[in-house]
Amino acid sequence: MNPIVIIGAGAAGIAAARRLQELERPYVLVEAKAFTGGRCVTDRATFGSPVDLGAHWFHSPAFNPLVPLADRLGVRYAAEALRGRYHRDGSWLTDADQTACENYLEAAFDRIAAFAGDVAIKDLFPDPTSPWHDAFLAELRAKQGVTVEESSSRDFARYVWKGDDLPVTGGFGTLLAKLADGLNIRTATPVSRVDWSGRNIRITTPVGTIDADRIILAISTAVLREGIDFHPSLPDWKQRAIDDLPLGSCNKVALRFTVPVFGDCPASLVLPLRGAHEAVEFVLRESEAEIATCLINGPFAKELAAEGAAAMTDYALARLADMFGSGIKKWVSPQQVIADWDHDPFIRGCYAAARIGHADARAELAIPIDERLFFAGEACSVTYMGDVHGAWLTGTAAAEAAAAQ
C-alpha cells in the first residue's frame, strides 16, 4: 500500500501526520524547508530569548486544541492578554482617549459582525468622522493583512473571536517543533510536480519521486497557485477557490536593547497611530527581556520588506524612538530578527483573506478532488481563518477523510 503523502509541515501538516499516526495509517510528511513549523517558527539563538517569526498568540483559547497540548508539553503562555497602549502625535493617549478609542473599535467590529451581506468592509463605513477610525483601519489590517477596500465583510464576520489573545511566551514555533517530534518527516524536500493522471499519484522532489494513493496539500494558497505543477491541472472550480483566497501581509522585526529603554512600560502591545497605511504594532518586554518585536501589517509590510532588512530595521527603530525618545538608538543591539513572509518562496504571504463576495471559497478549498487530493490549512477554515488552531483542525479533518477512503 502506498502511503498518504502530506505536503507541508506547518500546523495543518503536523496535525494531519499526528492523526494518521494515531490511526496507524502509513504516511510521509514532506517539507520544502530544512525545518518544520511553516509560519510558526521561533528564534531562540539570536537574543537568547524566544522570538516568534510568525504566529504568536493563542486565539479563542477556550476553543483552541493547542492550549492543552502546550500544557502537556510544558510550553509557556501568558494567563492574560497583553495590556494595549496607543501613541499618537508624540504622546500616549490619556485614559479617557484610550477608552474612547477602544469603544469605537469594539463598535466597529460589532457592525461588521452584524451585517448579513458580503461587501467590502469599507462600504460599511461610508462617512467615518470619528477621530479613532484610523485606529480601526490599522487594527483591521493587522487582523486581515489587507485593506478595508479588499476585505470581505462576511469572511471577517464568520471568524470566531472569543476570549483574550494569549501570547505563547515560550514560542509558538517551539510548540509546533515539539508536536512534530517522532513523525515521519522529510525536510528539505520541496515538491515541484504532482502527477495525478494515473492510478498512483506521483510526487516529484529533488531527491526522487514518491508514489501515493492519496495526498494532503497543507500549503499556502500562494504556493498552491504558483509553486507546484499539477498534471492534470486542478479543476477550474478548485483554481477559482484558490484565486479567491490570496494572502495578505504581516512581517516582523525584533530588536534587543542592552539597557532598559522602555521606562515603566510593562509587557505590552503598543500601537503607534500613524494613519491607516502604516499599520504597525509592537510587542514589548515579553519574558522580561528588553526586546521589542514590530509587526508590520498590510500592503505597507510588503512594500517595506521589498526595500530590505535594513529598511525594516530602521523603520522599527524610528517608531520606537518616536515613543521612547531618540536616545534609545544608541542602546540597540547590532543583531536583529527579521521575518519577511512575502518573499519566502515557500510561503509568499501571511494568511488568506477572502476576496469580496467570495467568502464561501474557504469551504470550496477544503473539498477533496476525486477523493485523492485533500486540502488543509488556515485558508480552509471558515471560523478560525488565519489562526494556527484553524489550520490544525483542518489538518486533522483532512487526515480522517483521507484515511477513510
Look at residues 304, 339, 374 and tell me which one is the last residue of a structural domain.
Answer: 339
Shared domain check, 21 and 124: no
DSSP annotation of 352 reads B
At 161, the pLDDT band (50, 70, 90 cuts) reads: confident
For 222-275, how does the pLDDT look when each residue is reduced to its tens digit (9 = 90+)?
A: 999 999 999 999 999 999 999 999 999 999 999 999 999 999 888 999 999 998
For 185-223, how does the pLDDT look when each residue is reduced to its tens digit (9 = 90+)?
A: 999 999 999 999 999 999 999 999 999 999 999 999 999
What CATH number has the domain bearing residue 124?
Answer: 3.90.660.10
Shared domain check, 295 and 230: no
CA distance 289 to 255: 11
Q: Which three cell numbers stand for residue 265?
A: 512600560
For 324-355, how does the pLDDT look when each residue is reduced to its tens digit (9 = 90+)?
A: 999 999 999 999 999 999 999 999 999 999 99
* Residue 45 located in a structural domain: no
Residue 318 has what pLDDT? 98
Q: Which domain holds residue 181?
A: 4-38+168-246+352-404
* Residue 18 located in a structural domain: yes
* Residue 72 located in a structural domain: no
- Non-local (6+) Cβ contacts of 240 within 8 A are 361, 364
Shared domain check, 155 and 203: no
Shared domain check, 333 and 266: yes
Q: Which three cell numbers stand for residue 374?
A: 485533500
* Residue 51 located in a structural domain: no
Longest Cα–Cα distance in the chain: 67
Q: Which of 345, 344, 341 is nearest to 386 (CA)?
A: 341
If one counts the domains in the chain, the total is 2
Identify the burial level of 271 via C-beta atoms within 10 angstroms of its C-beta, where 0-12 means exposed, 13-18 middle and 19 or more buried.
buried
* Residue 363 located in a structural domain: yes
* Residue 197 located in a structural domain: yes
Shared domain check, 227 and 177: yes
Q: Which of 14, 64, 71 is nearest to 396 (CA)?
A: 14
DSSP annotation of 13 reads H
φ/ψ (deg, to 5) at 360: -75, -5
Shared domain check, 278 and 315: yes
For 44-86, how does the pLDDT look when each residue is reduced to its tens digit (9 = 90+)?
A: 999 999 999 999 999 999 999 999 999 999 999 999 999 999 9
Q: Which three cell numbers stand for residue 1?
A: 500500500
Look at residues 310, 339, 368 and tell me which one is the last residue of a structural domain.
Answer: 339
**Contact present, 378 and 388 (Cβ < 8 Å):** yes
Q: In the predicted model, is pLDDT for residue 1 greater than 90?
A: no
Shared domain check, 362 and 239: yes
Shared domain check, 238 and 90: no
Whether the full predicted model's pTM is greater than 0.85, yes or no, is: yes
At 276, the pLDDT band (50, 70, 90 cuts) reads: confident
Instruction: Indicate the average pLDDT of the chain.
Output: 97
Shared domain check, 151 and 283: yes
Look at residues 318, 339, 360 and tell me which one is the last residue of a structural domain.
Answer: 339
DSSP strand pairing (42-43 vs 51-52): antiparallel
Shared domain check, 239 and 254: no
Residue 310 has what pLDDT? 97
Residue 368 has what pLDDT? 98
Residue 23 has what pLDDT? 98
* Residue 268 located in a structural domain: yes
For 97-133, how does the pLDDT look when each residue is reduced to its tens digit (9 = 90+)?
A: 999 999 999 999 999 999 999 999 999 999 899 999 9
What CATH number has the domain bearing residue 367?
Answer: 3.50.50.60
* Residue 76 located in a structural domain: no
CA distance 82 to 186: 37
Burial string for 150-163 (b: 16+ CB within 10 Å, else e) reads: bbbbbbbbbbeeee
Asked if omega into 232 is within 30° of 0 (cis), the reply is yes
